[in-house]
Amino acid sequence: MVLVVVPGANRAYSLVMSDIDFMTGADFPTPRDETAEEKAARIAREAVMIAEARASVAAGRVVSFEAVSAWVDSLGTDHELPVPQSGR
Sequence spans of domains, the chain: 2-25+34-74
In tens, the pLDDT along 17-75 reads: 444 455 544 555 666 888 999 999 999 999 999 999 999 889 988 988 999 999 999 99
Q: pLDDT class for 8, splitting at 50, 70, 90?
A: low
pLDDT on residue 17? 47
pLDDT, residue 34, reads 87
**8 or 61, higher pLDDT:** 61
Full DSSP string of 8-65: T-S-EEEE-HHHHHH--TTTSPPP-PPPHHHHHHHHHHHHHHHHHHHHHHHTT----H
